[in-house]
Structure 1
Amino acid sequence: MEAPIRIMLIDDHGIVRQGLRAILELEPQIRVVGEADDPEAALPLIDSLRPDIVLLDLSIGQHGTERGLNACRALSQRYPDVGVIVLTTFPEERLVLQALQNGAKGYVLKDVDAVDLIKMIRAVSRGEAAIDTRITPLVLKNLGRRDQERARLDLTDREKEVIRLLAAGYSNRQIGLALHISESTVKYHLRNIMDKLDVRARTEIVYAASKLGLV
C-alpha cells in the first residue's frame, strides 16, 4: 500500500481548517498531519512533520493577499520538495500568475468540489501542476499574450517590412523589388516569419500579424 499523502493546512479561519480536515480525512490515502493559522507558525511544524502538500490560504489576517504570496514564495524556496497549493476565494488573473511565479504548484478556489480538490492534491503529489478548471482560461489567455509578444519581439525590422508589403497584396517579386532584395531572399524571410508566428501559409501571416498590431 502506498504511503498516505501528508497535508499541512495554513488558514487563519479555524472553521475552514476544520472543514478541510473533515473532508480530506475521508480519503484513506490522505492524512492531515498539521495545521496553523499563519505561515510563521507553520514553519516549525513543517520542519518536524514534513508534509508532502501545504494547502495555503492566500489572504491571511489584515495583510491581504500580499502576505499569502510572500508565504508561497518563502515556503517554495525553503521546502522545494513540498507542493504548495493556494486555496483562495480570488479568481483573479493577476493573483493566479503571481502565485505560480512564487512557486505554487496549484491554485484552487475555496468552493471547489471535494472530489476535484482531492484530484488536484493527488496531481501535485505526483509532481504535476493543478489549476482549478474555472481559472485555466485566465492562465491560457496570459500565456497566449506572452507568446504573441515574444513573436513580436523576435521579428526583425526587415521581416516586419516584408509582412507589411505582403499585407498590401505584393507578390514575392514585388516585395523583392520594393526592398531591393532577391526573390529567394524574400522567400527566406517568409519562412522565418512563418516559423516565428507559428503559421503555415502566407494568408496566415497577415492574420497573425494583424493580431499583433503589425499591419
Structure 2
Amino acid sequence: MTDAAIPRILLLEDDTPLRERFARILDAWPDGELVAACATLKDALTVLAQQPVDLLMTDLNLPDGHGIEAIRLLRQRHPDADAMVISVLADDETVLSAIEAGAVGYLLKDADSIELVEAIKSLRAGHSPISSSIARILVRRMGTPVVNPEGPQLTPRETEILRGIAKGFTYAELAEWLNISRQTVPVHIKNIYRKLAANNRSEAVYEASRRGLIRL
C-alpha cells in the first residue's frame, strides 16, 4: 500500500444499484477514500494506470472483460496494494483463478454495509476476509485438513456455535438453536476467535476447517 493513512479505494461493479450502494457505504466511511466507482473494466484500467490505488474492490463478470484483468494490472502497477473480489460467482475455478491472480479477499454480494467495512479493516490488518462458502471451496481443494492437537481446543459448546456460524446463523438464531441466552453467544464467539486467531466469522470457519475441528 501507499504511505497514505487513509486507503485509496477503487470500486469496479457494473450493476448500477449495487455500485451506487457500495459507493455510498465507502463514501460514508471516514477511514477510506473512494477514488472512483467504475462500471467497466476499461474505466478501471484507466484509473489504475493514472493514479495510486491501495485497494481494488472488484466484480468479476463485466460487460467488457473480467475483473481478474484488473487484479493483474493492480499487482503490476501497485504491488503493495490489495484486491478484494465481491461477486456472485462462487465456482471452484473462478475462486481459485481470482486468488491466483492476487485477490486476498473474496466476498459474495450478499455482504451488508457492516460486513463490507469489517472486511476492509480485516484486509488492512493483514488478514484475508473470505465468505464462508468460499472458505469451503478452499478447504475442499486443500484436501485433508491439518489437525493440530497442540493448538487451543474448542469446547463442545464452542464447536456447536462454530457449526452454526458456518451455516450462517445469526446470534439470535444460535441462541434459540442451542437453547442458551442471547447474551452469552458473543462471549463464546469471542473465545472462538481468540483460540483460532480469527477476526471474523469467515476466518474462524476457514481456520477451524483447515485444522479439522469441524467438517463443512
The 1-side partners of 2:71 and 2:96 are apart by: 12
Q: Which runs of 5+ in 2 are unaligned?
A: 147-216
So what's the TM-score if we normalise by structure 2? Answer: 0.59
C-alpha displacement of 1:146: 10
Contact 2:44 2:70 in 1 (8 A): no
The 1-side partners of 2:92 and 2:98 are apart by: 10
Encode CA deviations 1:71-113: one digit per residue, 9 max, x unaligned. 3223223321221111101122221111101111111111112
The 2-side partners of 1:30 and 1:72 are apart by: 19
Given the alignment, which residue of 25, 28, 41 partners 2:27? 25
Q: Taking CA–CA contacts closer than 8 Å with sequence separation of 6 or more, which of the two structures ends up with the larger relative contact order?
A: 2
The 2-side partners of 1:62 and 1:48 are apart by: 20
- Is 1:43 the equivalent of 2:42? no
1:93 to 1:78, Cα distance in 2 relative to 1, 3 A:
same
Contact 2:9 2:55 in 1 (8 A): yes
Query: Secondary structure of the residue that 1:69 maps to in structure 2?
Result: helix
Contact 2:106 2:130 in 1 (8 A): yes
How many residues matched?
143
The 1-side partners of 2:51 and 2:18 are apart by: 21
Which stretch shows the higher mean deviation, 114-123 or 41-50? 41-50
1:45 to 1:69, Cα distance in 2 relative to 1, 3 A:
closer
1:48 to 1:78, Cα distance in 2 relative to 1, 3 A:
closer
Aligned to 2:61: 59
RMSD over equivalenced CA pairs, Å: 2.3
Contact 1:76 1:104 in 2 (8 A): no
Q: Which has the larger radius of gyration?
A: 1
1:146 to 1:80, Cα distance in 2 relative to 1, 3 A:
farther
Among all aligned residue pairs of Structure 1 and Structure 2, give the percentage whose two residues are the same amino acid.
29
Aligned to 1:111: 110
Aligned to 1:98: 97
Aligned to 1:177: none
Contact 2:56 2:83 in 1 (8 A): yes
Contact 1:52 1:125 in 2 (8 A): no
Encode CA deviations 1:9-57: one digit per residue, 9 max, x unaligned. 1122332221101122222112211122223322332344422111111
Q: Which runs of 5+ in 1 are unaligned?
A: 148-215
Q: How does 1:1-215 map to 2 (within 5 A)?
A: 3-61=5-63, 63=65, 67-144=66-143
Query: Secondary structure of the residue that 1:32 maps to in structure 2?
Result: strand
So what's the TM-score if we normalise by structure 1? Answer: 0.59
